[in-house]
Homo-oligomer: A and B are copies of this chain.
Amino acid sequence: MPASEFTLIYRYFAALGRGDAVDLSVGDDCALLRLEPGERLATSVDTVVEGVHFPADTFPEDIGFRAVSVAVSDLAAMGARPLGMTIALTLPDADEFWLNAFSQGVGQAVSEYGIPLVGGDTTRGPLSITVQVLGALPLAEALLRTGAQVGDVVYVSGCLGDAAAALAFLNDEWRPSAAAAEYLLQRFNRPRARLDLGAQLLGHASACIDISDGLLADAQHIAAASGVGLRIDPARVPVSPALQGCDDQEQVLKWALGGGDDYELCFTLSAGTSAPQSCTAIGEVVAGEGVDVGMELDFAGGYQHF
């Protein structure tokens, strides 16, 4: 690691590296982390690229918070306990103001999720951030995509479509009220990974995924992995008051069903099992394949980065 890179990382990030599971943080060839006896490691990696995953004029503080949330959301979707993370940061130049604000946002996520930053790499290039998350799960348990059973009920947490509506607003495609705009931008820039919900579902939900690419696309992953069909009632998909106030409810439905970036959880529970608070039953698991919403949709489900 070059000296200046080293200095940058130390100045801004070293304070974020402490945690119960951390034996050794930034500063050697590897970080060292401990799992508890009877646990195994859960890991996932997510890259966000400027202009692809967030607009070029996004505040660096939001970029930092959001990049961590996107990655931590995968731990939530497995029901894993956060252990630590690394960040590989590619930057056009070593802008101290940018780095300071970015590290503030990362620091807020470190506190919110209790996930120390234990390592990283900085390179020069067009802005992108890769966050690798490390979590722990009991050896015998995990929230997988594969366990949905015919007869199970399909749930989602929170409200859907907010992030897609925020992006449409940023792209001047519609104009929400000032209060709605503030709420929606917050939802896009500051998504909350549902770690507590994931932990609560562990051992109970038969399948789970986080909604990063849109409800239909992600529900489709559960259907395919579990070898079942999902029947979802669009009228039951929860949307926020900000979107309930939108004139074009057909557009709202598209955002809620097809828009990505909400980072809520979609999961299945056996019928009769009570769902955690602020989760909504939206359908059921049926024999067959694919996701059926009972209507024709004139949009492709989910983001396509390529």
- The residues of A with any CB-CB pair to B shorter than 8 Å are 1-5, 8, 23-24, 27-35, 37, 40-49, 51-53, 74-75, 77-78, 80, 83-84, 86-88, 90-91, 93-94, 118-126, 128, 130, 132-135, 137, 139, 142-146, 208-210, 212-213, 217, 220-221, 225, 302-306
Asked if A30 and B135 sit within 8 Å, CB to CB, the answer is: yes
Interchain CA distance A122-B122 in the complex, whole Å: 19
Given contacts A27-B225, A40-B34, contact A2 B305 (CB under 8 A): yes
Asked if B130 and A47 sit within 8 Å, CB to CB, the answer is: yes
Task: Give min CB distance, A7 to chain B, whole Å.
Answer: 9
A121 neighbours in B (Cβ, 8 Å)? 45-47, 130
Asked if B213 and A43 sit within 8 Å, CB to CB, the answer is: no
Task: Give min CB distance, A296 to chain B, whole Å.
Answer: 19
Asked if B31 and A42 sit within 8 Å, CB to CB, the answer is: yes
Asked if A93 and B306 sit within 8 Å, CB to CB, the answer is: yes
A134 neighbours in B (Cβ, 8 Å)? 41, 43, 134
Asked if A41 and B34 sit within 8 Å, CB to CB, the answer is: yes
Given contacts A52-B124, A123-B52, A225-B28, contact A86 B2 (CB under 8 A): no
Question: Closest residue of chain B to A45, judged by CB?
Answer: B86
Oligomer: number of copies:
2
Interchain CA distance A252-B306 in the complex, whole Å: 45
A143 neighbours in B (Cβ, 8 Å)? 29
Task: Give min CB distance, A154 to chain B, whole Å.
Answer: 17
Task: Give min CB distance, A35 to chain B, whole Å.
Answer: 6
A130 neighbours in B (Cβ, 8 Å)? 45, 47, 88, 121, 130
Interchain CA distance A94-B304 in the complex, whole Å: 12
Which one, B31, B46, B137, contacts A88 given CB within 8 A?
B46
Asked if A306 and B5 sit within 8 Å, CB to CB, the answer is: yes
Residue among A24, A31, A128, A306 with the highest chain B CB neighbour number at 10 A: A306
Asked if B78 and A302 sit within 8 Å, CB to CB, the answer is: no
Given contacts A2-B304, A90-B128, A119-B44, contact A74 B32 (CB under 8 A): no
Q: List 20 A-B contacts (CB under 8 A).
A: A2-B213, A2-B217, A4-B305, A5-B304, A5-B305, A23-B40, A28-B146, A29-B78, A29-B210, A30-B43, A35-B41, A45-B119, A45-B130, A47-B123, A48-B123, A86-B132, A88-B88, A94-B306, A124-B306, A125-B126
The 6 closest A-B pairs by CB, nearest first: A29-B77, A30-B42, A49-B125, A132-B132, A45-B86, A94-B306
